[in-house]
Structure 1
Amino acid sequence: MADKQPPPNAASSDPSVPPAEQPLRCGLGCCFCLFQIFWILLVCIIVLVVLVILVLYIVIQPRPFNFHVTEARLTQFNYTDDSNTLRYNLVLNFTAGNPNAKLNIYYDKVEGHMLYGGVRVASTDVVTRMTSFRQFENSTALMSGVFSGQSAVAFDASDFDGDQRNSVFHIDVRVYFRIRLRLSDFIAGNMKPRAKCGLRVPFRSNVTALTGFSPTKCNVDF
């Protein structure tokens, strides 16, 4: 009588044969837990950063600096229609006020642009890297800019004629800053605010005459 053979798919009962190892897999539950922990940590970090910024803002109470044109002297402003040439000589004095009780301001570079009739006429350096300075808290700094020369520009001559008859010229000045802020020993840098100044400048042929100009506050945008 033939020996009875075990079925081919039956597991071996021989204890010397180790069971086959199953490949390791990340269970869906385990992966979901890791994903959940990651997002909880991320949210905690974001909340912590926001709280730190909020506390610093409350403690420091930062405010933008204010900027004024205090004096303006216009001794030449002649326009030639044939060549579209404008000859000009404008001297401006500025004040920059730092209203912050804890922040210092480094003025690394300040550049002024003069516009007439919406057209840029001239540019000048108000503060260069050679003349950069530090403004302490609750203080006022003085600056000046000189626009002198001639430029080929085209604008509405009727507006110029009206200003010339009234001896008051509507001149816009744009001032571009490159500044850094200092809190104790910490310096945060390379901010680029700008100021917009709409001026009504009386024409004066006498260089010593400063009357007639009203000090003007500029709009500062960060």
Structure 2
Amino acid sequence: MATGNYHLNGANYGPPIRSPVRTYYSEDRTSGADVCCSICACFSSCLFCCGSCLVNIICTIFFYAAVTLGVIALFLWLLLRPTVMKFQVTDANLTSFELDPQSQNLHYNLSLNFAIRNPNQRLGIRYDQLEVRGYYGDERFGAVNMTSFYQGHKNTALVGTELKGQNLVLLDAGGRRDLREDRKSVIYRIDVKLRLKMRFKFAFLNSWAFKPKIKCHLKVPLSTASSAGGFQFHPTKCHVDL
């Protein structure tokens, strides 16, 4: 029998017809879990969008509020024009200033009177804290707190205090040399520094707190000595640094 020839009952029917292979494809159906995830993703996207809009609104409100407050502050500053107060030591009386060479304790007694001028026409000044410190060279030898008070506009306040006691003072070579010279001349070079906490006041409004630094370079004769050559203390203006 030749290849490809088929005989059935002597008749030639040709090659057999094969049934076509039927291929079945399953439909792509979305499960319930996928639908749920899609809904959650859509909801999260909406929340993110709303959150971004809310943040933008809040930032815009804060921006315009800051600009408005800045304009108001600038207007008040130009209207009121606050001016720094002026400090002056009107009188200083030194009755004791002696360093013990053994213990390095400095015995001191210094009385001070200050004139504090508020030059502002519309602003008062509230002094919440006042501290007076005495220095010889770079070494602090004493400090005292003063009573807080309120000062009206265009006003000069006269206040006084006293630095008295003894304290350990370690002077370097330059400081000891200056002390020998001052002891010989009986005129002592003393620095007085004031540390303040103050606020400007307009009507019922108070400003934020300022902490200016005031420094006064003094030359004070020892009042118990008679060899100062007739030198007397002169009123001394202080440097104010805001």
Q: How would you bin the TM-score normalised by the shorter chain?
A: 0.7 to 0.9
- Deviation, structure 1 residue 9: 4.9
Matched residues, number: 206
Structure 2, gaps ≥5 residues long: 1-25, 30-35
1:63-117 deviation digits (Å, cap 9, x = unpaired): 1211111111112212221221222211111011111111111223311111112
Aligned residue number for residue 15 of structure 1: none
With the length of structure 1 as denominator, give the TM-score of the two structures.
0.78
Aligned residue number for residue 84 of structure 1: 104
| One of 139, 142, 161 as aligned partner of 1:145 | 161
1:32-54 deviation digits (Å, cap 9, x = unpaired): 76665554444322221211111
| One of 148, 170, 185 as aligned partner of 1:154 | 170
Structure 1, gaps ≥5 residues long: 1-6, 11-19
Q: In 2, Cα distance between the equivalents of 1:143 and 1:62?
A: 22
**Which of structures 1 and 2 has the larger relative contact order (alpha carbons within 8 angstroms, sep 6+)?**
1
Aligned residue number for residue 196 of structure 2: 177
Q: CA separation of 1:108/1:41 partners in 2, compared to 1, >3 Å: closer, same or farther? A: closer
Aligned residue number for residue 115 of structure 1: 135
Q: In 2, Cα distance between the equivalents of 1:148 and 1:31?
A: 65
| One of 50, 65, 83 as aligned partner of 2:70 | 50
Residues 137-146 or 191-200, more deviating: 191-200
Aligned residue number for residue 14 of structure 1: none
With the length of structure 2 as denominator, give the TM-score of the two structures.
0.72
Query: Does 1:61 pair with 2:81?
Result: yes
Q: CA separation of 1:72/1:33 partners in 2, compared to 1, >3 Å: closer, same or farther? A: same
3-state SS of the aligned residue for 1:56?
Answer: helix
Higher strand proportion (structure 1 or 2):
1
- Deviation, structure 1 residue 152: 2.4
Share of identical aligned residues, percent? 32
* Higher gyration radius (CA): 2
Q: CA separation of 1:32/1:89 partners in 2, compared to 1, >3 Å: closer, same or farther? A: closer
| One of 97, 101, 109 as aligned partner of 2:121 | 101
Residues 177-186 or 69-78, more deviating: 177-186
